[in-house]
Amino acid sequence: MKFLPILFLMIALNSPIYAQKLNFSFNHVAISVTDLERSCTFYKEVLKLEEITNKTKVEGIRWFTTGNGIELHLISTIKERVKINKAVHFALSTKDFDKFIQNLDGKKIPYSDWPGTPQKINVRADGIRQVFLQDPDGYWIEVNSVSQE
């Protein structure tokens, strides 16, 4: 009799109601920035992201869209130091990869391949081209040529 509640719990947790997958979709990335205006300028001018309404209405936070309902939130209200390395990055894809590289070169924005060779484009084994660059706070951003069909 002692094991009856445990058996009931095991059956309940394995029922179809609990076995259903949750259907998540990616919503946003939020990063902590030290100078909100400087970071906003970078994301507008270098990555050409469109600023959208900050629905929190909290001062010191700005939102940008990357398309397809995915957003980037810049938060300047938390002043703790963030430790960053290249493995912690977010990636953007563009069909206009060559135009993007021309924009970086024209603005003299440094970028590199994955190993870190300056101004070099990385070509993955699957043929996708990619570069890595940093925003004003040192966050790593990958931009690649993955098709957006």
Query: Quick one: pLDDT at residue 53?
Result: 97
| Interatomic CA distance for residues 75 and 35, integer angstroms | 9
Q: List pLDDT tens digits, range 12-70.
A: 555 555 557 787 888 999 999 999 999 999 999 999 999 999 999 999 999 999 999 99
For the chain, domains (ranges, CATH) are 25-144 (3.10.180.10)
CB neighbours of 64 closer than 8 A, spacing ≥ 6? 43, 44, 49, 50, 51, 52, 71, 72, 73, 74
Q: Provide the percentage of residues in the chain whose pLDDT is more than 70.
A: 86
Kindly report the average pLDDT of the chain as a whole number. 88
Query: Quick one: pLDDT at residue 83?
Result: 86
- Three-state DSSP at 126 gives coil
pTM higher than the cut 0.85 = no
Nearest Cα to Cα of residue 134 among 115, 118, 110, 117: 110
Say if residue 47 is exposed, middle or buried (CB neighbours under 10 Å; 0-12, 13-18, 19+): buried
Query: Quick one: pLDDT at residue 14?
Result: 55
Nearest Cα to Cα of residue 60 among 27, 81, 34: 34
